[in-house]
């Protein structure tokens, strides 16, 4: 069994989700405020990774609709490279286009306030992205 930490990386918040290859189900975990500087962001994610004993990271890559990588995707790759170097665990990238939109759709019809939805959005986006990764992974 491999356990993955899904990461929706943003400059203000970092959404986290957890999943594994046995259950093949991603679960929203937490939303971290993205501390400055970037090395503190890496350490905050590594703290969670150690707590949940993950084997690898799945980082959402915000590709443009034409499949190109813009400045945000490059920022995510820098974060992923730093995370892999500091944590010693592999980093996989997964297309996260529309994951935030899907997260918003999941919360439609709930009685959550706008502020409550905002706090949950990033972890749900991480769940959506990680679930796509687990669904695409070959069966064990």
Of 35 and 79, the structure prediction assigns the larger pLDDT to 79
Q: What is the CATH number of the domain that holds 57?
A: 3.30.420.140
Residue 75 lies in a domain: no
Residue 118 lies in a domain: yes
Secondary structure (3-state) at 118: helix
Residue 46 lies in a domain: yes
Contacts of 41 (CB under 8 A, 6+ apart): 9, 14, 32, 34, 35, 79
Residue 128 lies in a domain: yes
pLDDT band at residue 23 under the 50/70/90 scheme: confident
Residue 62 lies in a domain: yes
pLDDT(44) > 60: yes
Name the residue range of residue 132's domain: 3-68+88-136
Digit-coded pLDDT (tens) for 98-115: 666 666 676 677 776 777
pLDDT(24) > 80: yes
Residue 125 lies in a domain: yes
pLDDT band at residue 61 under the 50/70/90 scheme: very high
Residue 74 lies in a domain: no
Burial of residue 140 (CB within 10 Å: 0-12, 13-18, 19+) is: exposed
């Amino acid at each position: 069994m491999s356990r993955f930490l899904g990461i929706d990386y943003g400059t203000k918040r970092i959404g986290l989700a957890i999943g594994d290859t046995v259950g093949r189900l991603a679960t929203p975990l937490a939303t971290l405020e993205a501390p400055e500087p970037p090395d503190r962001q890496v350490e905050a994610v590594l703290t969670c990774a150690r707590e949940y004993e993950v084997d690898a990271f799945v980082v959402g890559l915000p590709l443009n609709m034409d499949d190109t990588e813009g400045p945000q995707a490059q920022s995510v790759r820098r974060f992923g490279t730093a995370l892999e170097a500091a944590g010693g665990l592999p980093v996989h990238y997964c297309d996260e286009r529309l994951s935030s939109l899907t997260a918003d759709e999941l919360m439609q019809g709930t009685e959550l306030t706008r502020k409550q939805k905002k706090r949950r959005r990033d972890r749900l986006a991480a769940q959506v992205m990680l679930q796509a990764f687990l669904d695409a992974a070959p069966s064990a």
